[in-house]
């Protein structure tokens, strides 16, 4: 490896911000106590956790009592989806999901189908937008939950949560709306009241917070039962030990992300546009996957480089100390064509040739330019060797 590291894979995970580590340190050392009501140290920690809940709640226009800290996005997904389905199983056992949802969501529904629940999986178009006509047709008298990924982790597509909510509201009974917001949170404005979201999940390590921390929002009045059991120290939906340092780090990461939020999003869009423009100008036969710039997540770009395999691009960039992802961050190890790209109309070759670039607060203009320099060199060399088709002169 050579030169300064360039990390463009924050969709998988992100670097812990130094401010977050600094905020956590006292609670890893001196302030190691649990929250409580009858001692000064317990009261201090309880107040710290309450403040963290308020900070998170404010960022999405929720109430602090609607926030539960979990051990990650997958944990939050499981608590919400399983808890809502189990609480409402006497009313119906039908759920609606999509063929382009995140694997951690799809895996839960596959498990629930083995427990007697029945699902309808709606399709998406070439840009990853859900087929809303299919959604409308899928709602049944026994439908109790619709669950989707708010920002697609492969294509960067932002689903129309309001339109989804409006369709669900046409039913003569309550259909809960759950959103996997792990890629959406801190990248787009998120108002749970305006969008009509009943529950959502967040993964903290995707926005420069600590690993092993998630956020679960459950709207007051939502019928949900616990799926985990043990000593309830703070949250009825999440029993067991309380990760106080993780909660403190989560609050700091949220605070950093939403301070001058519009300015941060504007910076993401500038870097995204620079990356896109330079790729399209300098590398022939590059094709954008997903919605156009301005309509997609500002921190996300997915490009297919025709006549090359994305795995080869990823590995050659790694030699230059540049880190990107090909296909799904959760399933690329098996070298199968990505299911989301395939489910939105790409060929095997187009899917295998895709590379995903995702941004965080540490990415600079110089990082983008270094990446495109390396990409241009890599594309020429791989196409020279490629048996797949067109060669560059």
Biggest CA-to-CA distance, the chain: 76
pLDDT value of position 389: 55
- Across residues 133-143, what is the average pLDDT? 98
Task: Examine the pLDDT at 130 and tell me if it is beyond 70.
Answer: yes
Known active-site residue 330: yes
pTM listed for this prediction: 0.94
| CATH 2.30.30.230, domain 18-258, yes or no | no
The sign of the CA dihedral 85, 90, 93, 97 is negative
2, pLDDT greater than 70: no
Query: Confidence class of residue 390 from pLDDT cuts 50, 70 and 90?
Result: low
Q: Which helix or strand (DSSP H or E) is residue 169 part of?
A: helix 161-169
Residues 366-388: what's their mean pLDDT?
A: 91
Q: What are phi and psi of 95, to 5 degrees?
A: -125, 165
Computed over every residue of the chain, the mean pLDDT equals 94
Spatial distance between the Cα atoms of 14 and 8, rounded to a whole number of angstroms = 9
The CATH class that applies to domain 6-15+260-385 reads: alpha beta
The arithmetic mean of pLDDT across residues 197-209, rounded, is 98
Cα dihedral sign for 335, 103, 236, 55?
Answer: positive
Q: Between β-strands 6-7 and 322-323, what pairing exists: parallel, antiparallel or unpaired?
A: parallel
pLDDT band at residue 327 under the 50/70/90 scheme: low
Q: Which residue ranges does the chain devote to CATH 3.90.1150.10?
A: 6-15+260-385
**Which residues make Cβ contacts (< 8 Å) with residue 245, sequence separation at least 6?**
24, 27, 28, 210
Q: Is the pLDDT of residue 276 over 90?
A: yes
CATH 3.40.640.10 in the chain is located at: 18-258
Contacts 24+ apart (CB under 8 A), 63-67: 63/220, 65/220, 66/217, 66/218, 66/219, 66/220, 67/215, 67/216, 67/217
């Amino acid at each position: 490896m050579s030169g300064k590291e360039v990390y463009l894979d924050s969709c998988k995970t992100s670097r812990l911000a130094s401010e977050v580590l600094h905020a956590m340190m006292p609670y890893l050392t001196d302030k190691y106590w649990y929250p409580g009501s009858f001692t000064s140290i317990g009261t201090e920690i309880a107040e710290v956790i309450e403040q963290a809940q308020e900070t998170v709640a404010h960022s999405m226009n929720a109430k602090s009592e609607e926030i539960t800290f979990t051990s990650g996005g997958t944990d939050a997904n499981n608590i919400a989806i399983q808890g809502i389905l189990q609480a409402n199983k006497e009313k119906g056992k039908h759920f609606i999901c999509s063929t382009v949802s995140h694997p951690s969501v799809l895996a839960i529904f596959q498990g629930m189908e083995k427990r007697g629940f029945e699902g309808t999986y709606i399709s998406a178009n070439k840009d990853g937008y859900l087929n809303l006509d299919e959604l409308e047709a899928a709602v049944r008298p026994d439908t109790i939950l619709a669950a989707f990924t708010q920002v697609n982790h492969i294509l960067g597509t932002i689903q129309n949560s309001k339109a989804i909510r409006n369709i669900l509201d046409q039913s003569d009974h309550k259909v809960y709306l759950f959103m996997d917001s792990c890629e959406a949170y801190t990248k787009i404005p998120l108002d749970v009241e305006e969008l009509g979201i009943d529950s959502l999940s967040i993964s903290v390590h995707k926005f420069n917070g600590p690993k092993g921390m998630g956020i679960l929002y459950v709207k007051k009045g939502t019928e949900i039962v616990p799926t985990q059991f043990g000593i309830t120290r703070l949250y009825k939906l999440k029993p067991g030990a309380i990760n106080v340092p993780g909660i403190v780090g989560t609050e700091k990461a949220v605070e950093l992300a939403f301070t001058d939020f519009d300015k941060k999003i504007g910076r993401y869009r500038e870097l995204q546009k620079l990356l896109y423009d330079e790729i399209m100008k300098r590398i022939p036969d590059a094709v954008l996957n997903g919605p156009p710039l301005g309509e997609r997540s500002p921190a996300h770009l997915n490009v297919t480089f025709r006549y090359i395999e994305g795995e080869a691009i990823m590995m050659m960039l790694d030699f230059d100390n540049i880190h990107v992802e090909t296909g799904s961050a959760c399933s690329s190890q098996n070298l199968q064509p990505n299911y989301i790209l395939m489910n939105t109309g790409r060929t095997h070759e187009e899917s295998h040739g895709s590379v995903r670039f995702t941004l965080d607060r540490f990415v600079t203009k110089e990082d983008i330019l270094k990446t495109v320099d390396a990409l241009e060199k890599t594309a020429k060399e791989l196409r020279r060797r490629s048996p797949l088709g067109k060669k560059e002169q």
